[in-house]
Amino acid sequence: IFAAPENVVDEKARICRRNQMLMMITTFMYALIRSVKNSGIFDAYVYILGGQKNTEVGVIASIFGMSSLVLALPAGWLIDHYSRARLLGFGSVVLTAALSLYLVVAMVKLGGLPIVLEFTQSQSSASYSLFADSLPHGHRADAMSTVAILRNVAGGTGPFLGVILVHVLGNEWKLSILHEILLVVALVELPTNWINTLWRDVEHHEHADTNMSVKGGDSGVGETVEVKILTDAEK
């Protein structure tokens, strides 16, 4: 058994704590952003933009579902083969560029915003994986419960904020007002996307019946594997 230097252990503990905090923040913010958009504002925006037809609303809803289905397998493969922190950083750059374009040129194409939203959702697998690996063994239940609570609180707060924005900006279902609300939400999403560049890779822990823990290198693929035999007290 090779004991890690104390400063290395402290650094890894610091990274794990930071990853946990990043998960809490991004979970709350993304849930808040989605709940504002899903409170009827985005559907009304698409309905008016599409000439007051429900067909466009259904098409956009289909894009959401199909995007999640299509992206699930590639996202899982990428997470297994590449650095999760780098994938999150790359996704943040893409999303920031897309949102910046939306803010600069006032993009109003029906497919634009859902694509951005689905790219955001594709990051969730990497962030959840890193979050799970950043938790001390035996403490995942409490941490996952906290994340779920934050998501539910944000989900309940978003529609209320949407009502406030509608009231402040005009209290009418007009395309210009709805577009302004979506622009405000996009401005909030920009710093939230940037936060995802702060994630760092941590090793994966497996506690098997063989009384052994296998830990991979911080950058994922190609690193040296360290094997540590657990005592009965550590299991």
Measured CA to CA, the distance from residue 49 to residue 82 in angstroms comes to 40
- Residue 83 confidence (pLDDT): 85
Average pLDDT of the chain is: 75
Measured CA to CA, the distance from residue 117 to residue 65 in angstroms comes to 11
pTM to 2 decimal places:
0.72
- Residue 48 confidence (pLDDT): 82
Domain assignments of the chain as residue spans, ordered by start: 17-202
Of 14-23, 52-61, 152-161, least confident by mean pLDDT is: 52-61
Please compute the mean of the pLDDT values over residues 210-233 and round it to a whole number.
Answer: 38
CATH of segment(s) 17-202: 1.20.1250.20
Residue 214 phi, psi dihedral angles, 5° rounding: -110, 130
* Structure confidence by residue, pLDDT tens digits, 29-47: 989 988 988 878 888 887 8
* Structure confidence by residue, pLDDT tens digits, 107-123: 444 445 555 555 555 57
Q: How confident is the model at residue 225 (pLDDT cuts 50, 70, 90)?
A: very low
pLDDT at 234 over 70: no
